[in-house]
Amino acid sequence: MLEDMIKNNPALQGMDPQKLQFILSFLQKDKPADMKSAMPFLLANMNLARKQNLRFSRPEIQLISEILSKDLPPAEQERVQKMLAMMQSLSSGSAGSS
């Protein structure tokens, strides 16, 4: 179901195949059940993406957020979204300083 959402999402059409593969492998991982576990999980996957020289756009990050938080309660989903937004803004700021 989520795999179809990825493949059919117009914001992701023409996505780099490496990014798509990363997201599909992310989709297949066991997701954390709570926010306490989500942070290390997310950081580990962000580091993996960075090591692979992958940078994600805002729509791609939104999709990753949806994948990560889909089974969490609404309050936890909101926290994941805020955390990802903060991490993206930090990443964008450091990318522009080189």
Q: DSSP characters for 25-91?
A: HHHHSPPPSSHHHHHHHHHHHHHHHHHTT----HHHHHHHHHHHHTTS-HHHHHHHHHHHHHHHHHH
pTM of the model: 0.61
Nearest to residue 83, comparing CAs of 49, 48, 46? 46
Walk along the chain (98 residues) and give the pLDDT tens digit of each residue: 666 766 677 766 777 889 888 887 877 888 777 767 777 887 888 889 889 998 887 777 777 777 767 777 888 788 777 777 776 666 555 444 33
Q: Say if residues 56 and 64 touch (Cβ distance below 8 Å).
A: yes
